[in-house]
């Protein structure tokens, strides 16, 4: 039985040793071929202190939303330092092909990606929220990876880092474009997620125990939908132009308007019923969203 405690990997050299590979050509960046990957480490979960970008083919039983797919085309996934990567549920698929690109944060130091890499929200997506690639898209990404690999395998000079960073940044920009395309092309699945979110929010705000539960968080709603908070917000921005937090606030204001217009409860009582500890916070949010105080709304409605 394998070890269930996540194994921490802090360097490129450690990855190569773990996989029985020769020493890396570069101490801070490496691309590893997944074909014929060894599966005898006994490690079930890994925490990388590295950025990890992977491209896989021959993945079976992948979950996307609430659906399961046997997907034989390119799949791309992204991990930022500190995230946990779990092994394949049934071991490494025999037909698995592709690569994993490992980048130590030090490699990005004092480059255009030092801060910019944090803007790519897909580094916070869960592994089941991978990017599905068409053959053409996969070729675009693979060409960039080939450039990166050739560059760090050649003689390292003062231009090497800039050239690699340029290719890496181009890859991340393409990935962002491809994710936007995915949100659009998978409309049926994505709109069902939007419908389920609305249903979850309605049920949440109809609960009489809101005072003890408090206001719903994006994390809570994302967990209900079996997805990461960042993926949910990215998806909603594409479908509705709103973030998950904005949608939560919209449903909250709708419920507040209902109570203000159909009950004689005081503003403070309504605030507490909606999960606010302090009515001032409720008043502030309501005015921000409607340009009216709760009392002004009630008076105008009456």
104-158 pLDDT, tens digit per residue, is 999 999 999 999 998 999 998 887 788 989 899 999 999 999 999 999 988 777 8
Write down the pLDDT at residue 163. 94
pLDDT digit string, tens, across residues 58-110: 765 444 444 444 445 688 999 999 888 776 555 556 677 899 999 999 999 99
Write down the pLDDT at residue 289. 92
Write down the pLDDT at residue 53. 95
Write down the pLDDT at residue 212. 73
pTM (two decimals): 0.78
Write down the pLDDT at residue 267. 92
Q: What single-letter DSSP state applies at residue 109?
A: T
Write down the pLDDT at residue 68. 44
pLDDT > 90: what percent of the chain? 42
**Mean pLDDT across 265-286:** 89
pLDDT digit string, tens, across residues 215-235: 889 999 999 888 889 999 888
Flag whether pLDDT at 191 surpasses 80. no
Flag whether pLDDT at 302 surpasses 80. no
* Antiparallel, parallel or unpaired: β 67-71 and 7-9: unpaired
Residue 251 tokens read as: 């449903």
Flag whether pLDDT at 170 surpasses 90. yes
**Mean pLDDT across 185-209:** 80
Backbone angles phi and psi of 32, in degrees to 5: -115, 130
* Choice between 37 and 88, residue whose per-residue pLDDT is larger: 37
Average pLDDT over all residues of the chain: 84
List, in order, residues 6 or more apart from 186 with CB less than 8 Å away.
64, 132
**Mean pLDDT across 150-179:** 91
**Mean pLDDT across 282-291:** 92
For residues 32 and 21, the answer to whether their CB atoms sit within 8 Å is yes
**Mean pLDDT across 174-199:** 84
Residue 272 tokens read as: 């507490």
Residue 239 tokens read as: 């479908």
**Mean pLDDT across 246-257:** 90
Helix (H) or strand (E) holding 272: helix 267-273
For residues 130 and 76, the answer to whether their CB atoms sit within 8 Å is yes
List, in order, residues 6 or more apart from 55 with CB less than 8 Å away.
74, 75, 76, 98, 99, 100, 133, 138, 141, 142, 145
Write down the pLDDT at residue 243. 86
Write down the pLDDT at residue 93. 62
Write down the pLDDT at residue 198. 87
Q: Strand pairing partners for 46?
A: 7, 85
Flag whether pLDDT at 43 surpasses 80. no
Q: Is 291 left (phi over 0), alpha (psi -120 to 50) or beta?
A: left
Measured at the CA of 242, the angle between CA 241 and CA 247, to 5 degrees, comes to: 145
């Amino acid at each position: 039985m394998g070890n269930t405690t996540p194994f921490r990997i802090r360097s490129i050299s450690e990855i190569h040793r773990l996989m029985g590979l020769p020493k890396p050509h570069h101490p801070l960046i490496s691309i590893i071929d997944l074909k014929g990957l060894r599966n005898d480490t006994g490690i079930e979960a890994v925490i990388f202190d590295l950025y990890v970008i992977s491209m896989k083919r021959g993945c079976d039983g992948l979950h996307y939303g609430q659906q399961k797919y046997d997907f034989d085309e390119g799949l791309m996934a992204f991990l930022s330092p500190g995230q946990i990567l779990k092994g394949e549920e049934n071991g490494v698929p025999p037909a698995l092909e592709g690569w994993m690109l490992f980048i130590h944060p030090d490699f990005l130091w004092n480059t255009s990606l030092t801060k910019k890499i944090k803007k790519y929200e897909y580094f916070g997506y869960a592994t089941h929220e991978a990017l599905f690639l068409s053959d053409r898209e996969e070729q675009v990404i693979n060409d960039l990876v080939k450039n990166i690999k050739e560059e760090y395998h050649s003689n390292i000079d003062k231009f090497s880092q800039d050239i690699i960073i340029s290719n890496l940044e181009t890859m991340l920009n393409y990935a962002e474009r491809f994710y936007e395309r995915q949100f659009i092309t998978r409309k049926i699945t994505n709109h069902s997620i939007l419908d389920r979110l609305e249903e979850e929010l309605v049920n949440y705000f109809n609960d009489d125990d809101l005072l003890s539960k408090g206001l719903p968080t994006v994390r809570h709603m994302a967990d209900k939908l079996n997805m990461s908070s960042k993926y949910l917000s990215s998806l909603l921005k594409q479908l509705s132009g709103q973030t998950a937090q904005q949608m939560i606030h919209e449903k909250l204001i709708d419920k507040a308007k209902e109570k203000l217009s159909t009950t004689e409860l005081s503003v403070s009582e309504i605030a507490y019923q909606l999960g606010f500890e302090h009515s001032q916070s409720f008043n502030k949010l309501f005015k921000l969203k409607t340009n009216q105080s709760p009392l002004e709304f009630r008076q105008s409605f009456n």
